[in-house]
A = this chain, B = another copy of it.
Amino acid sequence: MQIKELLKQSPSEQEVTVKGWVRTKRGQAAVTFIAINDGSTIHNIQAVAEGGAIDEETLKLVSTGACVAVTGKLIASMGSGQAVEVKAEKIMVYGTADETFPMQPKKHSMEFLREKAHLRFRTNTFGAIFRIRHALAYAVHKYYNDNGFFYLHTPIITASDAEGAGEMFHVTNFDMEKPPRAEDGSIDYSQDFFGRQTSLTVSGQLEGELGALALSKIYTFGPTFRAENSNTTRHLAEFWMIEPEVAFYELEDNMALAEDFVQYVIKYALENCAEDLAFLEKRLLEEEKNKPQNERSELSLLEKLKFVVDNKFERLTYTEAIEILLRSKPHKEKKFQYPVEWGIDLQSEHERYLVEKHFKKPVILTNYPKDIKAFYMKQDADGKTVRAMDVLFPGIGEIIGGSQREDDYEKLLARTKEVGIDPENIWWYLETRKFGSAPHSGFGLGFERLVLFVTGMTNIRDVIPFPRTPKSAEF
């Protein structure tokens, strides 16, 4: 039985076997207390070995990091904090761990733990994070399944570029030292595995649209990639993205879906990860003690999550947002680093002002200038803006980006050419606007941004098991 289940049992004379890793061992000759964790819960179960019950040779091997099976009766615990403990009658040591085991019970820096990503799962913090990450991923699938969406596996290796943005990793089967050359000396990609140049996808959206324009409601949940040399706490070269796409949805439906969806998954975490969240909330409070008062969060982690679940997101247009920013104190006092005027790409400082100072809740900005948004977004009648939407969260910034898609063949074709994409390269995408085109909308949510928000962690490398960043692909 896993420790999570054992801790829910009533004390009894029943014999149980606990399998897990030793977190700590303390005590004297007369009695030894062993805290064991198996990753099923943040809580350890205590095994108590009274003098003589376990031979000394075995007890010596029971040290922090060792893997053991303890057999004995489940009895009422004398200590506080747990109802039951195991009175050890037999201990089997599966694997020892000497004093070089890096996860000793003391404070480790996050940098150190990142270098030991193969072992950091065995700490309270990372156990909690990855259990919550699981719960959030499951909630994503449950939400879409329960609402009639079909999960679509869009391709990872692709010959198209959804964002027209470059910054893609190349995928090749060539011997890179000497790839075959064409007569003009250039690399002959027709001899590569796929007979053409291929890359890692930056988004499953274009293919997702193909699915939605037949199955009506689809979503993707898969890895996406950016070969962007950004060494920040918010960027990964490999990250997981969720992209629903729905036929017959216009921008308003899309906003309603985004809000309902993100509130659902956070609520799911609140209901299913209470103990892990309580641990992370306490952790965050400890962390913030070292910060000056004005840098501390106004809300605790749980308060922040409940706040997002309970409050309707504020909806306004980009143009309205610019007006608010122009009237704002930081603008008038020239405190913004970047200038504010209609047409700019909003900077983090602007988004934070809107979300954290002005509205004090999640905000959905819509109808951005078309020149700062992707080619596939539906053009507004004014010829200047597109039916885009960004959902901005406190502390995180943009967590969701989406739009209604251009469904008019001629307009889409013209825009494709305008931004310099070869229509031949996405003939299949354009064709869906020729055969039974329909209004449709969708968005993308960066899964790690969501996990970051829900766990209260501050570096995105700590919410994915094995982060991929510039100069780092260990494990």
Contact = CB atoms under 8 A, between A and B. Distances in A.
Interface of A: 2, 4, 19-22, 38-40, 65-67, 69, 94-97, 101-103, 117-119, 121-122, 127, 130-131, 133-134, 137-138, 141, 145, 148, 150-160, 169-174, 176-177, 179, 186-187, 193-196, 198, 200, 207, 210-211, 213-217, 222-223, 225, 227, 229, 237-238, 240, 247-248, 407, 428-429, 431-439, 464-466, 468, 470-475
Contacts of A119: 210, 214, 431-432, 435
A468 B214 contact: no
B248 A19 contact: yes
Given A4-B148, A195-B471, A210-B121, A130 B223 contact: no
List the 7 shortest-distance A-B pairs measured between CB atoms, nearest first: A95-B437, A121-B214, A39-B215, A118-B428, A194-B473, A67-B436, A195-B471
Nearest to A138: B145
A465 B117 CA distance: 34
Nearest to A471: B195
Contact of A121 (B127, B215, B229): B215
Given A97-B434, A119-B432, A193-B227, 20 more contacts: A22-B436, A40-B216, A66-B436, A67-B213, A95-B407, A121-B213, A130-B150, A133-B153, A134-B150, A137-B141, A155-B466, A155-B475, A157-B237, A169-B172, A171-B171, A173-B227, A177-B186, A196-B473, A210-B475, A222-B223
Nearest to A467: B155
Contact of A148 (B2, B160, B229): B2
16 contacts: A4-B148, A21-B436, A39-B214, A95-B433, A118-B429, A118-B431, A121-B213, A122-B436, A130-B152, A138-B145, A158-B473, A176-B176, A193-B471, A194-B468, A194-B471, A428-B475
A53 to B, nearest CB: 22
Contacts of A155: 238, 465-466, 468, 473, 475
Contacts of A96: 436
Nearest to A473: B194
